[in-house]
Amino acid sequence: MSAHSFETLAIHAGQEPDPTTGAVVPPLHLSSTFKQDGVGGLRGGYEYARSGNPTRTALEECLAALEGGSRAFAFASGLAAEDTLLRSVARPGAHVLLPGDAYGGSYRLIAGVLSNWGITHTSVDLADLDAVRAAIRPETAVVWCETPTNPLLGIADIAALAGIAHDAGALLVVDNTFASPYLQQPLTLGADVVVHSTTKYVGGHSDVVGGALVVNDQTLAEKIGYHQNAVGAVAGPFDSWLTLRGIKTLAVRMERHCDNAERIVEVLSSNPAIEKILYPGLPDHPGHEVAAKQMRRFGGMVGIHLRGGIDTALAVVAKTKIFTLAESLGGVESLIEHPGKMTHQSVAGSPLEVPDDLVRLSVGIENVDDLIGDLLQALE
């Protein structure tokens, strides 16, 4: 490719017109197996579709290009990607450092599943670099970072964490789901692995569940590639195709998500029902400067603490008409939810429990005045 700007890569990387038919869109290859011209005589490098599938390859090449990585691996879900990654880079006895407000499913995977395999963990506030240094142990294999975090929109300094992790001989893994590669490219800031739930902004249309890992290191790529095939939690061809179709508009969608979120934050900041708004674009957000340094813009996710506590929070999420009450995020349609009772139920009672006066918005790309009107009537 001669052009390397993000918008162009999103539409063309891994997506050259099909050499046999000229199809402009990568074909949906459903074949589970591929004819060999004599034993081992592979025509296009494909033998069996768990090991590799051309539609999945197109998605993986595009994701690698968008994150500034050399290789990407697509999985059946974000958690499948995380599980495969941790089995690739950590052994029984290894220690993982987690954000104090990690995505609940990542916490559950590490604390509830991989703990049975001998992986230990500590959760720590990643914005507090001294606390991170103090929590590192000789057996720490992975520093797991999310920025912005789900649902508290905390910000961690990726470059600083990469330095700390590497000094300790650990890998820095960044869950880039909330920012998407359009807003933030962790590998270029020193991270070793980027994790995505492509279910969210990358796919962008709430019609497919998927995950991905992206790396820039050949040894790491070989380890992950081995485990992707050996564990087998791969993205199916149709899921890959849908995700790739979503990616084409990632840049324009993200700009609109950011525009709409910024306007909503501005209008709601003076609303008497609201105690506090969590948005990294606000100058008084504790991570604002770091976010401004490492992100292009501040994203489409907004947290709202309500003055009336949990009762008001539950009433508001039940009253919106355009914002749909649902889990997940990052799609073109606006969603609203109560993390304490929905997405983060799995961390209730743990150190990662989220406040119950909190409502989370995934601001979509509808007309912003319609969205503001909907929120104002629900807050009345």
Ligand X SMILES: *Cc1c(COP(=O)(O)O)cnc(C)c1O
Which residues make up the interface to ligand X (CB under 6 A)? 77-79, 103, 105-106, 146, 150, 175, 177-178, 197, 199-200, 209, 211
State which residue, 266 or 353, has the beta carbon closest to ligand X: 353
| CA gap 336, 277 in Å, rounded | 14
Between CA 300 and CA 138 the distance in angstroms is 38
Question: What are residue 98's DSSP bridge partners?
Answer: 123
DSSP assignment of 339-374 equals: TTTTTTGGGTTSTTPPPTTEEEEE--SS-HHHHHHH
Q: Nearest approach, Cβ of 379 to ligand X (angstroms)? A: 25
Cβ atoms within 10 Å of 91's Cβ, excluding its own: 11
The single residue of 71, 200, 253, 297 carrying the catalytic annotation is 200
Q: How far apart are CB 177 and ligand X at their closest, in Å? A: 4
**Other CB atoms within 10 Å distance of the CB of residue 286:** 12
Q: How many CB atoms lie within 10 A of CB 165?
A: 25
Instruction: Tell me, yes or no, if 200 is annotated catalytic.
Output: yes
- Cβ of residue 125: shortest distance to ligand X, in angstroms? 17
Whole-number Å distance between alpha carbons of 60 and 251: 18
Residue in 83, 157, 175, 239 annotated catalytic? 175
- Closest to ligand X by CB, 34 vs 241, is 241
Shortest separation between residue 33's beta carbon and ligand X, angstroms = 27
**Minimal CA–CA distance to 74: which of 251, 208, 219?**
208
Tell me which residue has tokens 């990632």. 250
| Nearer residue to ligand X within complex by CB, 177 or 260 | 177
**CB of 78 or CB of 299, closer to ligand X:** 78
Rounded to 5 degrees, what are φ and ψ at 347? -110, 10
50 is known as an active-site residue? yes
Closer residue to ligand X, CB minimum distance, 193 or 379: 193
- Smallest distance, ligand X to C-beta of residue 105, A: 5
Distances (CA, A) of 154 to 124, 159, 221, 247, 327: 12, 16, 29, 26, 19
In angstroms, what is the minimal distance from the CB of 291 to ligand X? 16
**In the complex with ligand X, which residue's Cβ is closer, 213 or 379?**
213
The CA distance from 161 to 174, in Å, is: 10
> In this structure, how many other beta carbons lie within 10 angstroms of the beta carbon of residue 122?
17
In the block, tokens 């000229």 appear at: 22
Q: Is 92 exposed, middle or buried (0-12, 13-18, 19+ CB in 10 A)?
A: exposed
Q: Which residue out of 46, 103, 182, 201 is catalytically annotated?
A: 103
Residue 36: DSSP 8-state: B
Residue nearest to ligand X (CB): 78
Nearer to ligand X, 291 or 368 (CB): 291
Whole-number minimum distance, CB 351 to ligand X, in Å? Answer: 18
Which residue in the list 18, 50, 248, 263 is annotated as catalytic? 50
Q: Does residue 135 contact residue 95 with C-beta atoms inside 8 Å?
A: no
Whether 167 sits among the annotated catalytic residues: the reply is: no
Active site residues: 50, 103, 175, 200
